[in-house]
Amino acid sequence: MTAEQPYMLEARDISKKFPGVLALDRVNMACRGGEIHALVGENGAGKSTLIKVLMGVHPPDDGEIFVQGKKVNIRNAAEARWKYGIDSVFQDTTLVPSLTVAENIFLGQERDFYVRGLISRARLRTKAQEILSEIISDAGIRMPDSDKLIRDLSLAERKIVAIGKAVASKARLIILDEVTALFSMDQIRALFKMLAELKKKNITTIFITHRLKEVFEICDRATVLKDGKYVDTVDIQDISTTDLIRMMTGRESGLFFPPRAKKPPSKSVVTLKGIAKHGILDDICLDLYEGEILALAGLRGQGQAELLQILYGLQKYDEGEIFIRGEKVGIKKPIDAIQHGVVYLSDDKDEELMFTLSVQKNLALPTLEKRSKMGFVQRRTEKAASEKVVAEFSIKIASLKQEMSNLSGGNKQKVALGRWIPATPQIFLLNEPTQGLDVGVKIEVYQLMRRLADEGRSLIVTLTEMAEILNLPDRILVMGDKRIKTVFSAEEATEEKILHAALG
């Protein structure tokens, strides 16, 4: 860039160390005004730490940050937002559920709406509608009602409000961290149109995603990190997906799937007959076999997650019967499922893990009762069991005492899955188990799932990425219109057949 056109934001030689971990080692990043700039790398590459440094959450140990050519010292997120025009939207948006859309958009700016000492609700609503209209005018998205409470909005609507909040703060650079993780294809397309609108206004976007297809579809350039180090910054039009994966991982290709079981399925371990839930599921009948990975595919929101939650006792069902190993069972709450050897992994890590506790305590929670005698926990046994899971699942930690919140997304997911292993469950219900994970960790999770199946355990997995649907499970159930529309064996499934079944 020339002196007349400084970078909107530039980070030079940023280093950041935590106890036992060098999270960033002389990392560089430079974003031009009005560009959509991808930040990519495997879990643990340093993306989240860099973003927190840019937002003032973590002070860098070394290095410099420049905003529009001027060296700055960003001391906290409020200063990043209000003084330097840098805002962020994360997977778990920091909106206040009990406040309205308008109140959230202008949170911290209430003084601008005072009339005779009171906030003018009418002005607040009108201005909120203007902001939302600006960013979604051509995106084909339904505008959220400014009087609605955040807790009553869909996930996609919350993301829109969070972006609107960033625009309302007059942000010149907006960081989007995995915001598409739970979006449907239509919602992703609408978001990309919204980003194009922001680009027209010369607002810069840093776009973080593990879906490389999205990088090539919407981004201008990409900065690649690996193991806390800067690899390169590249123009998207000049590279291929293979090039980008090689830079991120050091490997030549993308996803590698373990071979499927050679033996045909034998006995059924779970049978569902006529399971129905009003407005969500209708006449669901299926069998899950021993040693099988069974995928629930189809468009998002077709009842896949709800079906798993019914099997785990998190949701009630109106009709139907559940059989486990031939015995009719009544699963009304999770403890009923666990007693029948059924465990569940949510797509939301916040529901699974206690982030303020150590890795060891998180791994120990599901089997705490087994290691307790007369009210005392056998710490030595607990530590040994935790060490075994860490080794088997290749969980990268500084120590078992490390707080969960300091782990990368991939390692959190391994803890969430591995903590059930000492309980020796036979049936796993996994809702989007690789969501938000990088290529390398995805491969590890695929291998773990196949290993569980090879050991004779059975898995029902909700999947939305076509590569996973076609290569991971042994059978595929395509859901749509509240029911199972088609069943495919792994051998007969093709992308065309699955899409036809899902959309037809």
Phi, psi (rounded to 5 degrees) for 498: -65, -45
- Asked if residue 212 lies in contact with residue 245, where contact means CB atoms within 8 angstroms, the answer is yes
pLDDT band at 3 (very low <50, low <70, confident <90, very high): very low
Rounded to whole angstroms, the Cα distance separating 116 from 280 reads 49
- Sorted by where each begins, the domain ranges of the chain are 9-99+173-249, 268-341+425-503
- Beta strand 376-377 with 173-177: parallel, antiparallel or unpaired? unpaired
- Asked if residue 140 lies in contact with residue 160, where contact means CB atoms within 8 angstroms, the answer is no
Whole-number pLDDT of residue 93: 58
Lookup result for tokens 């076999």: 289
Top pLDDT among 504 and 351 is at 351
Whole-number pLDDT of residue 443: 84
Whole-number pLDDT of residue 91: 60
Please write down the long-range contacts of 99-102, taking CB distance under 8 Å and 24 or more positions apart. 99/149, 99/150, 100/146, 100/147, 100/148, 100/149, 100/150, 101/128, 101/132, 101/144, 101/145, 101/146, 101/147, 101/148, 101/150, 101/153, 101/161, 102/127, 102/128, 102/146, 102/147
Mind listing the pLDDT tens digit for each residue in 365-402?
877 776 666 666 677 888 888 888 888 888 888 889 89
* Mean pLDDT to the nearest integer, 147-175: 82
Phi, psi (rounded to 5 degrees) for 59: -75, 140
Mind listing the pLDDT tens digit for each residue in 141-156?
666 778 888 888 777 7
Going along 68-212, which residue ranges are E strands?
A: 70-72, 86-89, 114-115, 118-119, 173-177, 204-208
Lookup result for tokens 């996803």: 255
Hey, do 9-99+173-249 and 268-341+425-503 end up sharing a CATH topology, with the first three levels equal? yes
Top pLDDT among 364 and 499 is at 364
Whole-number pLDDT of residue 2: 47
Whole-number pLDDT of residue 298: 85
CA atoms within 13 A on the CB side of 214: 29
CATH for the 268-341+425-503 domain, from 3.40.50.11540, 3.30.1360.120, 3.40.50.1400, 3.40.50.300: 3.40.50.300
Rounded to whole angstroms, the Cα distance separating 393 from 418 reads 7
Rounded to whole angstroms, the Cα distance separating 390 from 298 reads 34
Nearest Cα residue to 289 out of 136, 475, 51: 475
Q: Residue 359's CB: how many other CB atoms inside 10 A?
A: 26
In the predicted model, is pLDDT for residue 138 greater than 60? no
Token pair recorded at residue 295? 């995928």
Phi, psi (rounded to 5 degrees) for 83: -95, -40
Rounded to whole angstroms, the Cα distance separating 345 from 307 reads 13
Rounded to whole angstroms, the Cα distance separating 453 from 456 reads 5
Top pLDDT among 128 and 252 is at 128
Using a 10 angstrom Cβ sphere, with 0-12 exposed, 13-18 middle and 19 or more buried, the burial of residue 213 is exposed
pLDDT band at 207 (very low <50, low <70, confident <90, very high): very high
Token pair recorded at residue 244? 């980008």
Rounded to whole angstroms, the Cα distance separating 203 from 196 reads 10
Rounded to whole angstroms, the Cα distance separating 396 from 412 reads 10
Q: Which residues contact residue 240 at a Cβ distance below 8 angstroms, ignoring those fewer than 6 apart?
A: none
> Residue 415 is which amino acid?
V
Whole-number pLDDT of residue 135: 67
Helix (H, G, I), strand (E, B) or coil at 228: coil
pLDDT band at 495 (very low <50, low <70, confident <90, very high): confident
9-99+173-249 CATH fold: Rossmann fold (3.40.50)
Q: What SS3 string covers 348-382?
A: CHHHHCCCCCEHHHHHHHHHCHHHEECCEECHHHH
Best-predicted range by mean pLDDT (27-31, 190-194, 497-501): 27-31
Arithmetic mean of pLDDT over the chain: 85
In the predicted model, is pLDDT for residue 490 greater than 60? yes
Give whole-number Cα distances, 487 to 136, 310, 491, in Å: 38, 20, 12
* Mean pLDDT to the nearest integer, 425-441: 85
In the predicted model, is pLDDT for residue 205 greater than 90? yes
Partner residues linked to 277 by β-bridges: 281
